[in-house]
Structure 1
Amino acid sequence: MAVVTRRSVLTGLGATLAAVLAPPAGSAFADGRQQGTRPLWRAHAHNDYEHPRPLLDALDHRFGSVEADIYLVGDQLLVAHDPEDLDPSRTLESLYLDPLAARVKANRGWVYRGSHRPLQLLIDIKTEGASTYLELDRHLRRYPHLFTTYAHGRVHTGPVTAVISGDRAARTPMEAQRVRRAFYDGRLSDLDSAAPASFVPLISDNWTLNFTWLGVGAFPDAERQKLRGIVAAAHARGQRVRFWATPDLAGPARDAVWGELLAAGVDHLNTDDLAGLEAFLDAHRS
């Protein structure tokens, strides 16, 4: 399939990722326990594949969650934001799955050596959900020791937890599986559903559809209480919370929103600015 991409400069990048993925044994990033290099589990790299070095830039900034958008093209899962950007060299395997498998092997079974907690790989399905998920499931099965797995009523934690977002039709085939290597990204409406955290471990929603405040002036008390109520309800069910469409331009407004998200206990802060969120979270460590 001939495809035109505006990122041709990155063609072939995926083929080199595994070779450069594992940091030198003596480097700071090789060991998440070293001072100043502890993983930032609340940091989520929105549209991570848009960075010059997909996955690797987020890991160098110690992020605990990364996001990849996928399109099903034939039997390939191509990573891009828009159809015109599809490039057959930029597959989910080349940009994410193979590099993660190599890093986990190099780091004694975990993405961050010494930190026995899974990295979240949020996979946003851009094509029809059911068929894309079934192909994705076949791809994930090729990495039997990489992913957190749900099997016959129990969750077995692995070095990477795949969470499926995007086209909601993926939910039906996922719910039918007795064994899964992925979990479902819920919405606020799922807080009132019977879906357990073993299926919906993450609740994500659009900030601007639920709150009017964008960081300018005081956070309205009613909205602060609403935010904290959402987090409390999710945490009571064993679920994590993320909002997208929060302010992301560097400045006081963004920092104000991030501060309120932290104070409320929101689990993942969404950003395109890896260095900015890293610096913010380092400055606000409790």
Structure 2
Amino acid sequence: MDATNVLDAGVCVVTSISLDHTAVLGDTVQEIAAEKAGIIKSGATVIVAPQPPEALSEILIACEEKEAAPILIGRDISWEKTGSSSDGQRFTVKGLIGEYDLQIPLLGSYQLENAASAVGALESLRSQGIEVPASAMEIGFGKVSWPCRMEILSRFPLLVADGAHNVYSIESLLRSLPEYLVYDRLILVLGFSKDKNVEGMAKALGEKADRIYATASRHPRSLTPAEVYGLFEGKSEKVLEVATPAEALKLALDGAKNEDLVLATGSLFLSAEVRESALGIEPEIYPELPTSGLSA
């Protein structure tokens, strides 16, 4: 099912797998891993990011069937964070060929897993006749940009956009926030898409948030503000239903102190629209889309 199947790749990367797009990929991590393993080609080198045991088992079975060589992040390639600030983080990666001192302008420990996976892929390209020197890696990682992934849009108060849209990514985000940022209250500008485990995300976020502005992006698959509000039964005193992300952002910033963190999350569409409002970007207009079971 993976769109990358159109490529005949000698090096494949399988990033961390969690429950997402269950309407299409499967109801369990194991089923989703079996679908994702479809990108593995015969005789390929396969970079495998840290996985739940049941997902790793499916990936290794696929590697054996296709005589592909798995390289596991955490076993064959390791990384260690050496420093961080709100502007990014420094880390070392011990690869199969060399050791690299790198920095990226991205926040979140999961980005270090991603970076280690990228190093593994770049090293593996040597078998394809493509050599990427360490100096090029340093430049590339230093210039990487990933909008709406713990992206700081403004400061005083901190405004962060993150497109986390499943329980796993929401929980990872909530763990990373206090590790990388200093703040007092957590104020959410929040919206969800219809085909997600919104109850699980709302539970995790509701336990941490001090104030929630429940809203909806323009995307046709978004839950309505009223539906988002309704997910926080018993916490209505700290939840406000707001018609649009732009209005929710204004209310959140107006009500925040300089020491607070305003976080736009729950959906890539929602976080992108907050980003548009904050940075003055021309809004993207979504067409009326047929139901496919996929959204962010």
Q: TM-score, normalised by structure 1?
A: 0.31
* Larger Rg belongs to: 2
